[in-house]
Amino acid sequence: MTFSPLFAAPPAPSGVPWLYISIIVLIAFLAVLVLIGISYGKLWLQAYFSRANVTLLSLVGMSFRRVNSRIIVTGKIMSMQSGIGAEHETGVTTRRLEAHFLAGGDVLKVIRAIIAANRADIDLDFDRAAAIDLAGRDVMDAVQTSVYPKVIDCPDPKRSGRGTLSAIAKNGVELKVRARVTVRTNLEQLIGGATEETIIARVGEGIITAIGAAETHFDVMEKPDKISKAVLDRGLDAQTAFAIVSIDIADIDVGQNIGARLQADQAEADMRVARAKAEERRAMAQAREQQMRAQVAKNRALVVLAEAEVPKAMAAAFRKGTLLTANGPH
């Protein structure tokens, strides 16, 4: 026979602990939903009513991937509301926008550039725009330059410190030229293409070559458009990030007569050479004169020596009795 304790608690009805657990789980789930709704609800509703196709789960995942969800949603909304096309047409998906953001690109600038290109009927897809942006180029400026061409001074005083190009025609007259080059961006060659400095250098080289081929400086001053056409025909925009629209000669000034100055310098140099050669010949003549004088002095000395031998010979003849006179031997 057993006795239960006097103050023992009555047994709990079966199933009560599971009810408590379910309530706690439900409360936690509701709390998570409320937290998500507070954090992402407004942004998700904005994307939903704009048909931006951004799910609530994607917004939560962006937080874990450290992606600015507001930038991504704004980019998707801009893409959809601008009417450039759906995701399968433009390639502007949430994943691609996130990847571009994580790569350090400017998502909103890329979207604006695609919209501007679409409005201007320029072929620019998301992949190319993102590649241009990641390459360090201003993709929005590239699109704007494609729509509104840019004017470049040749030479550029800010870069070279010179205001004009100096070229010499065949008649030796110097011309100082300043040109203006109108270019538009070539989006297909923007990545890896040469920059404005190359355009300026090539145009400057072409202008100098064209002026150097002119017979006289009057030909250039009379028809400067010949220089522009000659430079354009050379295809100076090859392998560059720009397409040259036009080259205009803005100013031409006549400089020095380099040919005449060079001829004068050459004549002076020739005169100096002639003087040097004449001086050399004079010095040689003087040396020859001194040499001949020395030879004459030598010959005179030999004559004196020979004359000195005559008395000796006569004395010897007297001693030997061989001296001949007019009457016979002496």
Helix residue ranges, H only, the chain? 16-49, 56-64, 69-81, 87-90, 94-102, 107-119, 126-134, 139-147, 157-160, 196-213, 217-222, 225-232, 258-320
Residue showing tokens 């450290």? 66
Domain ranges for the chain: 23-144, 150-260
Strands 173-185 and 328-329: unpaired
**pLDDT per residue of the chain (330 residues) written in tens, 0 to 9:** 444 444 444 554 554 577 777 777 777 666 666 666 666 767 777 778 778 888 878 887 888 888 888 888 888 888 888 877 666 666 788 888 989 999 999 999 999 998 888 888 888 888 888 988 898 888 888 888 888 888 888 888 887 778 888 888 888 888 888 888 888 888 888 877 888 888 888 888 888 888 888 888 888 888 888 888 888 888 887 888 888 888 888 888 887 777 777 777 788 888 888 888 888 888 898 888 888 888 888 888 888 888 787 787 777 777 777 765 555 555
Report the candidate in 77, 16, 70 with the shortest Cα–Cα distance to residue 51.
77
Question: Among positive and negative, which fits the CA dihedral 86, 88, 92, 98?
Answer: positive
126-134 vs 107-119: helix crossing angle, rounded to 10: 130
Out of 3.50.50.60, 3.10.150.10, 3.30.479.30, 3.40.50.960, the CATH code matching 150-260 is 3.30.479.30
Burial code (b: 16+ CB inside 10 Å, e: under 16) for 6-25 equals eeeeeeeeeeeeeeeeeeee
Length reported for the chain? 330
How many Cβ atoms are within 10 Å of 34's Cβ, its own excluded? 11
Residue showing tokens 């008649």? 171
What is the rounded CA–CA span in Å between residue 207 and residue 213? 10
Residue showing tokens 């048909």? 51
Three-state DSSP at 270 gives helix
User: Which residue(s) pair with 324 in the sheet?
Assistant: 329
225-232 vs 196-213: helix crossing angle, rounded to 10: 120
Residue 1 has what pLDDT? 43
